[in-house]
Amino acid sequence: MLYQKTKSSTTNYDCSACILGHICVASDLNNTELNKINNLKHEKIQIKKKEKLLISHQQTIYGVRYGSLKIQIEKPTIFNKIVEFCLPGELIGLNNLHNEKHEFSVIALENSELCIINIQHLDHISQDRPYLQKQFREIMSKEITKSHYMLSILSLTSSKKRVIAFLLNMSSKYEKLGYSSNNFILKMSRKEIGNFLGITLETVSRILNQLMKEKMILIKNRNVILKNKEQLKNQLLNQ
Amino acid sequence: MLYQKTKSSTTNYDCSACILGHICVASDLNNTELNKINNLKHEKIQIKKKEKLLISHQQTIYGVRYGSLKIQIEKPTIFNKIVEFCLPGELIGLNNLHNEKHEFSVIALENSELCIINIQHLDHISQDRPYLQKQFREIMSKEITKSHYMLSILSLTSSKKRVIAFLLNMSSKYEKLGYSSNNFILKMSRKEIGNFLGITLETVSRILNQLMKEKMILIKNRNVILKNKEQLKNQLLNQ
DNA sequence: CGAGCATTTGACCCCGATCAAGTGCCGTGG
DNA sequence: CCACGGCACTTGATCGGGGTCAAATGCTCG
């Protein structure tokens, strides 16, 4: 189940042709600029559902082309804590651009494809393009903000609020991708949601069904419909 | 109590003369390089104990020169969640280098001094110094790693583990500064620790006293002595 | 179609939140 | 310098949310 990079099928492709260009590293670039960085050719990698990619080397980040994945910390002290779920357009490995020991892994929740971005290569082409550096810094900064937001969610005492925050978070992720923000399919299990939120899978299940009884959502298996997003948001405000 | 930047006393000073040079943005630079960036003059700011600095503009980061501070998210939905305690040599504002709305504040736990680093200025001088960009990226990446570590702590179900992780975390911070890692003074209240860890102040108090009874620590008011760090670390591993 | 995982649901119980009361500590002002 | 007010901290009692264990049912994929 462990996926070695060397075993994987990789292909060169052109950044300017990437369907994710507008939300990826190359975002905010106009066509002229996009053509300029055509020389940023890089590989892509396919990961099948449930396969695991152990991240060890520090010179690479990954952009999700399609699919969905979970990022989990690999530590003896901490039982495989999931810190993030990633959808297309998101970057993986921003937490790994330094020398301190820090192991984590990427596991595909469905068949997925990542593009492999060599950070030195990115450095090279951004040397005379300061806006690229700025843009990359902004992406990293947003990542920190996201983590802080998650920290605040995990401090919300009630499990109900955690689950609601999770649903709204997934909703906004799908919205960003241009999909319906009220009607989506969860790619992860109740157990994985629980891991992510710091609660048990039974509690996740109970709360989802409670929210359904309260007519705020509809949930059948992993199909979610948010019936009343405003009411959900209000729940986060209460006391 | 709200501290306006315009009201504050600021002074220009020279980066190469900063006592924090070796752990600040200029870290890993040799003396020759340090001289090169002498033109990175910038201001410093003094914040008195309990004073608050609201961060709004996105072009600035702050380096702690001395003192200690807490960083908290300002959101209507979340009651002033503390996401970090900062000691000298740490950077503040890395989560704010993007355009998305994101308010947070810095509150001094004791009289402190920050140096104000204009990010555009930093950009300017690092344009022909790629290693500076790389270094800054590494610092940001570490910040993400730290947040992920905190996320995993907040998922540790037991409050006891949270408190132990907090103590070990503070210990390593003081160690990095060259102070004793087994004997330090907490600058924050039980309430603030509880906020940070997502538990109540009463629970913090009870657990600290429990750890004392178990002879792993000594604590009197805010003076902490770690008597058996190995045992503390083992507590995190158990089941 | 069947094995094994995912999910639901119930019962029980414990950890930690909440409320409350008392003590300690610190800074300010008389 | 002392007295006082208010915050910080401790400690106790109670209670409920959510963890744990268990069993049944539902899905999914080989």
DSSP 8-state assignment for residue B38: G
Q: How many CB atoms lie within 10 A of CB B216?
A: 19
B118 and B166 belong to one structural domain: no
DSSP character at residue B28? T
Q: Beta carbon of B189 within 7 Å of strand D?
A: yes
Whether pLDDT at B199 is above 90? yes
pLDDT (0 to 100) of residue A54? 87
- Pairing assessment for the beta strands A52-55 and A2-3 based on DSSP bridges: parallel
Which pair of structure tokens corresponds to residue A57? 């080397």
- Two tokens at A193? 């949601």
Domain match, A128 and A186 both:
no
Say whether the CB atom of B221 is under 7 angstroms from strand C. Answer: yes
Instruction: Report yes or no on A220 lying in a domain.
Output: yes
> Two tokens at B129?
């110094």
pLDDT at A111: 94
Question: In this model, does residue B143 exceed pLDDT 70?
Answer: yes
Going by C-alpha positions, the residue among A134, A84, A100, A106 that lies closest to residue B146 is A100
- Percent of chain B predicted with pLDDT > 90: 56
CA angle, A19 as apex, A18 and A23 as ends, to 5°? Answer: 95
Inside any domain, residue B145: no
Q: Which of residues A201 and B59 earns the better pLDDT score? A: A201
For residues B25 and B35, give the distance between their C-alpha atoms in angstroms, rounded to a whole number: 14
Q: Pick the residue with more confidence: B11 or A87?
A: A87
Inter-residue contact B87 to B169 (CB < 8 Å): no
Low-confidence ranges of chain A (pLDDT < 70): 1-42, 76-79, 239
Instruction: Give yes or no: residues B100 and B162 share one domain.
Output: no
Cβ neighbours for A134, distance < 8 A, ≥ 6 positions apart: B123
Q: Same structural domain for residues B127 and B173?
A: no
Nearest to B150 among A141, A151, A157 (CB): A151
β-strand partners of B69: B86, B108
Q: Using the CB atom, is residue A158 less than 7 Å from strand D? A: yes
The pLDDT of residue B125:
75
Among residues B96, B131, B166, which one ends one of the domains?
Answer: B131
The whole-angstrom separation of Cα B49 and Cα B1 is 10
Residues B47 and B108 grouped into a single domain: yes
For residue range B95-134, list pLDDT tens digits in order.
999 988 888 999 999 999 998 888 887 777 777 777 778 8
Residues A204, A182 share a domain: yes
Chain A hits for B162, Cβ within 8 Å = none
DSSP-derived secondary structure for A155-215 = H-S-HHHHHHHHHHHHHHHHHHTTS-SSEEE--S-HHHHHHHHTS-HHHHHHHHHHHHHTT
Assess whether pLDDT exceeds 50 at residue B19: no
How many CB atoms within 10 Å of residue B154?
Answer: 21
Q: What is the pLDDT of residue B6?
A: 30
CA-based nearest residue to B136, from B117, B153, B149, B150: B117
Amino acid A173 reads K
Report chain D positions within 7 A of protein CB atoms.
Answer: 8-13, 17-22, 27-28
**Nearest C-alpha of chain B: how many angstroms from A96?**
6
Residues of A in contact with B134 (CB under 8 A): 123
- What residue type is A200 in one-letter code? T
In this structure, what token pair is assigned to residue B221?
């008011």
Q: Which residue has the tokens 């996320």?
A: B151
CA dist., res. B161 & res. B237, Å (int) = 9
User: Which positions on chain C have an atom < 7 Å from some protein CB?
Assistant: 6-11, 15-20, 25-26
Question: Quick check: A127 and B130 CB within 8 A?
Answer: yes
Asked if the structure places residue B150 within a domain, the reply is no
How does DSSP classify residue B135?
H
Q: Which of A120, A119, A53 is nearest to A86 (CA)?
A: A53
Residue A135 and residue A27 share a domain: yes
Could you tell me which residue, A231 or B18, shows the higher pLDDT?
A231
The pair of structure tokens assigned to B146 is: 């730290």
Answer whether residue B146 is part of any domain: no
Whether residue B52 sits in one domain with residue B106? yes
| A150 in a structural domain | no
B150 contact residues in A (CB cutoff 8 A): 147, 151
Question: Where in the sequence is the domain holding A12, given as residue range(s)?
Answer: 2-145
pLDDT at B28 over 60: no
Same domain assignment for residues A37 and A140: yes
Q: Which of A145, A172, A202 is the last residue of a domain?
A: A145
pLDDT of residue B18: 57
Q: Which nucleotide minimizes the distance between its C1' and the CA of A209?
A: C8
B144 domain-assigned: no
Instruction: Give the pLDDT confidence of A103-131 residue by residue, as tens digits.
Output: 899 999 999 999 888 888 777 777 777 77
Q: Is the CB of A99 under 7 A from strand C?
A: no
CATH number for the domain spanning A137: value is 2.60.120.10
Q: Name the CA dihedral angle for A213, A219, A225, A229, rounded to a multiple of 10 degrees.
A: 40
- Give the pLDDT of residue A115: 87
Whether residues B187 and B124 fall in one domain: no
The total number of structural domains that make up chain B = 2
The confidence band for B92, taking pLDDT boundaries of 50, 70 and 90, is very high
The pLDDT value given to residue A133: 82
Same domain, A226 and A179: yes
Q: Are residues B125 and B160 in the same domain?
A: no
Burial class for B74, CB neighbours closer than 10 Å (0-12, 13-18, 19+)? middle
Q: Which residue of B has its CA nearest to A234?
A: B77
Q: Check residues B65 and B162 and name the one with the higher pLDDT.
A: B162
Is the residue at B67 inside a domain? yes
CATH of the domain at A204: 1.10.10.10
- Indicate the DSSP class of residue A117: E
pLDDT at B1: 26
Across A217-226, B25-34, B218-227, least confident range:
B25-34
Q: Report the distance separating Cα B77 and Cα A177, nearest Å.
A: 25
Provide the angle, in degrees to the nearest 10, between the axes of the packed helices A130-155 and A119-126.
Answer: 130
Q: Supply φ then ψ for residue B78, to 5 degrees.
A: -125, 125
| Residues of A whose CB is below 8 A from B104 | 148
Q: Say if the Cβ atoms of A145 and B195 lie within 8 Å.
A: no
Q: Is residue A72 part of a domain?
A: yes
Q: Rounded CA gap, B191 and A110, in Å? A: 43
Query: How many Cβ atoms are within 10 Å of B171's Cβ, its own excluded?
Result: 20
CA–CA separation, A206 vs A116, rounded Å? 39
